[in-house]
Amino acid sequence: MKRRHVSFAIVALTVMGIFWGQLPSKAATSRRTPNMNSADTAVLLPNRSPLVSFRIVFMDGSAADLPGKEGLASLTAAMLAEGGSRAKTYSEITDAMYPMATSFQWQVDKEMTVFSGSTHIDNLDKYYALIREMLLDPGFRADDFKRLKEDAINYLKTSLRGGNDEELGKEVLYTMIYPSTHPYGHQNRGSVSALEKMTLQDVRDFYRSSYTRSTLVIGLAGGYPEGFPKQVDADFAKLPTGAIDQFKAKLSQPKLEPGTRIQIIQRETRSTAVSLGFPIGVTRRNKDWPALAVVASYFGQHRSSNSYLYQRLREARGLNYGDYAYIEYFPRGMFNFEPDANLGRQQQIFQIWIRPVEPQNGHFVLRAALYEYDKLVREGMSKEAFESTREFLSKYVNVLTATQGAQLGYALDSRYYQIADFPTYMREQLAKLTLADVNRAIKQYLKSDAMRIAVVTKDAAGLRDAILSNRPSPITYNAPKPKEITDEDKTIEAYKIIVKPADVTIVPVEKVFE
């Protein structure tokens, strides 16, 4: 096993009081030729905080799940973070963490797996010793495996299918866009049938092939002692070297059939949840990402009343609790106000999330979402909207990176996307941006002839008939509305959704992620 040594040089102090460690020349080369799986890198944010944050990332994730093994990356991560190490059972680990009030979290997305936790500096040695053993010397006990496998199955069956229509709709949308043959083509937690067949040996094998130096990036922030990163690096040198670019070759943009496709999930539920979208060939690495970030914020800033869709559907019409738009994967949006970090992807989708409406308004709200989307593409943004949104995002980046854990997460993502640190990147790019850039980006990336729509509702057949018949879906309110709204309603209620009967499918909820 090759031992690597820590060396670095701080060369620049920006006006914001942020030091950037200049990468050695070798790294500078790799920056010009981005290599997402470049392994020999750490991201360090030393400061004087008594809190030490860890984000240990492996550049591998559910995209590496082989056919029939969907969910293996997630189950393996769960086995490391919620199972015992060789030296200690999981109970012994949680007992040791208890007085320190620490924990160790895991998150698996398509291309990134991250283990994170924070400790007070008082407990750094004890905490680090525990997580080091968990990641480097896992116990892989049968009882942990049985428990965590059942957890994964129950997550799919009851949390997702049985208790959260909104997340269900959002996740179904991704499976409509990425076919099962695509590495992104399954839910990160897997499928019930694949999980049921999964063995402990599968987990061991996955750990051996994916948890390697070549996929590892160590993220540390806080007031850790000077020699600490070196110690961590030396410890993690124990991992096998591994092969770079394990799954990259398999990734290709999904080729969607033109036209609209609608999947209606039938479930016993009070309301109707809608998610719609399509792939966009843009990530933070692309020069047009900041332009699209402005558009998404203007059109549907997450959990904010400061956005167009929210104003039209919730504020003006009282249809539901909120309506938002995204250009990056944003799971758990019903719980989180800010996005989680380390969900880096080579491919993203544009998504509109309509929170549940009363079933009688399901058809109307679907038309309203499509109508507003068409209007956005047709008309673009106004100068005022552009300027206020740009100003918002330039400042909001401070909110996104307010904690050191978030700063570390964003720094790791900036490394993945090969961009400057996120606040700098956003401020610089936004300052350069023009209204013309934004409106060009809308036409270039947000115009799609392959819309995918996921709906969760009780009367799936009724909604399907209504959509296919294209009959008007008038809406009634409990209070008079301004003429501007009622006139627009007339347009929306008759708005044509052009879709073939074969392209509107009904799926009983029990079959989803099965």
Partner 1 sequence: MKLLIIASLILCLPLLALAQKSRQAFAYDYTIDDLPNGLRLVTVPTDYPNLVALYIVVQTGSRNEPEKGKSGYAHLFEHLMFRGSEHYTGQQRDEILKKAGANDNAYTTDDRTVYHEVFSKDDLDKVLELEADRFQRLKYPQDGFKTETRAVLGEFNKNSSDPEEKAYEVLRATAYKVHTYSHTTMGFIEDIEDMPNQYDYSLQFYGRYYRPEYTTIVLVGDLKRDDALGMAQKYFGGWKKGNYVAEIPSEPDQKEPRANHVDWPSDTLPLVYVAFRGPAYSDYKKDKAALDLLAPIAFGENSDLYQKLVLKEQKLDSLSYIFEDRADPELFVVAAKVKDVKDTDYVRQQILETYQHFAKEPVPKTRLDSTRSRLRYQFALGMDSSEAIAGALAGYIGLRRTPLTIDKLFALYDTITPEDMRDMAAKYFVDNHRTIVTLSPKEVAK
Nearer to partner 1, 49 or 286 (CB): 49
Binding mask 298-327 for partner 1 (x = CB under 8 A): -----xxxx----x--xxxxxxxx------
Nearer to partner 1, 282 or 492 (CB): 492
Bridge partners (DSSP) listed for residue 280: 348
- Stretch of 46-54, 193-201, 373-381, 438-446 lying at the interface with partner 1 (CB under 8 A): 46-54
Which secondary structure element, helix H or strand E, spans residue 485, and what is its range?
A: helix 483-493
Binders of partner 1 among residues 330 to 389 (CB under 8 A) are: 334, 337-338, 355-358, 388-389
Q: What letters, b where the CB count within 10 A reaches 16 and e where it falls short, cover 123-148?
A: bbeebbebbbbbbbebbbbeebbebb
DSSP secondary structure letters along 307-368: SHHIIIIIITT--SS-EEEESS--TTTTT-SSPPS----S-EEEEEEEEEE-GGGHHHHHHH
> Is residue 94 a contact point for partner 1 (CB under 8 A)?
yes
Nearer to partner 1, 205 or 493 (CB): 493
Distance spanning both ends of the chain, measured CA to CA: 41
> Is residue 42 a contact point for partner 1 (CB under 8 A)?
yes
Furthest-apart CA pair in the chain: how many Å?
Answer: 74
> Is residue 29 a contact point for partner 1 (CB under 8 A)?
no
Q: Count of residues binding partner 1 (CB under 8 A)?
A: 111
Q: How far is CA 494 from CA 105, 194, 368, 467, in A?
A: 48, 43, 10, 11
Contact residue for partner 1 among 229, 254, 462, 472 (CB under 8 A):
229
Contact residue for partner 1 among 76, 85, 118, 448 (CB under 8 A):
118
DSSP 8-state assignment for residue 453? E
Q: What phi, psi does 353 have (nearest 5°)? A: -115, 115
Nearer to partner 1, 103 or 505 (CB): 103
Q: What phi, psi does 272 have (nearest 5°)? A: -125, 120
Q: Where are the beta strands (DSSP E) in 18-152?
A: 19-21, 41-46, 51-58, 105-108, 113-120
* Contact between 121 and 50 (Cβ < 8 Å): yes
Contact residue for partner 1 among 165, 171, 372, 489 (CB under 8 A):
165
> Is residue 19 a contact point for partner 1 (CB under 8 A)?
yes
Q: Which two tokens stand for residue 302?
A: 């997450």
> Is residue 253 a contact point for partner 1 (CB under 8 A)?
no
Nearer to partner 1, 2 or 496 (CB): 2
- Stretch of 105-113, 204-212, 286-294, 402-410 lying at the interface with partner 1 (CB under 8 A): 402-410
Q: Report, in Å, the least distance between residue 1 CB and partner 1.
A: 14
Binders of partner 1 among residues 493 to 512 (CB under 8 A) are: 509-510
Nearer to partner 1, 310 or 445 (CB): 310
Q: Report, in Å, the least distance between residue 42 CB and partner 1.
A: 5
> Is residue 48 a contact point for partner 1 (CB under 8 A)?
yes
> Is residue 162 a contact point for partner 1 (CB under 8 A)?
yes
Q: Which two tokens stand for residue 298?
A: 């203007």
Contact residue for partner 1 among 34, 86, 158, 332 (CB under 8 A):
158
- Stretch of 104-112, 201-209, 369-377, 475-483 lying at the interface with partner 1 (CB under 8 A): 475-483
Which secondary structure element, helix H or strand E, spans residue 506, and what is its range?
A: strand 504-508
Nearer to partner 1, 28 or 243 (CB): 28
Nearer to partner 1, 43 or 291 (CB): 43
> Is residue 480 a contact point for partner 1 (CB under 8 A)?
yes
> Is residue 206 a contact point for partner 1 (CB under 8 A)?
no
> Is residue 393 a contact point for partner 1 (CB under 8 A)?
yes
> Is residue 409 a contact point for partner 1 (CB under 8 A)?
no
> Is residue 50 a contact point for partner 1 (CB under 8 A)?
yes
Binders of partner 1 among residues 425 to 464 (CB under 8 A) are: none
- Stretch of 131-139, 188-196, 264-272, 435-443 lying at the interface with partner 1 (CB under 8 A): 264-272
Q: How far is CA 101 from CA 105, 122, 225, 356, in A?
A: 13, 12, 21, 37
- Stretch of 65-73, 177-185, 403-411, 439-447 lying at the interface with partner 1 (CB under 8 A): 403-411
* Contact between 409 and 340 (Cβ < 8 Å): yes
Q: Report, in Å, the least distance between residue 132 CB and partner 1.
A: 17
Q: Report, in Å, the least distance between residue 45 CB and partner 1.
A: 5
Nearer to partner 1, 25 or 201 (CB): 25
- Distance between CA 122 and CA 431 in Å, rounded? 42
> Is residue 271 a contact point for partner 1 (CB under 8 A)?
yes
> Is residue 417 a contact point for partner 1 (CB under 8 A)?
no
Q: How far is CA 209 from CA 206, 245, 418, 498, in A?
A: 5, 12, 25, 46
DSSP 8-state assignment for residue 160? I
Q: Where are the beta strands (DSSP E) in 214-314?
A: 216-222, 261-266, 272-280
Q: Report, in Å, the least distance between residue 360 CB and partner 1.
A: 12
Residue 221's Cβ-side half-sphere holds a number of Cα atoms within 13 Å equal to 17
- What's the angle, vertex CA 66, arms to CA 63 and CA 68, rounded to 5? 125
Contact residue for partner 1 among 66, 67, 122, 490 (CB under 8 A):
122
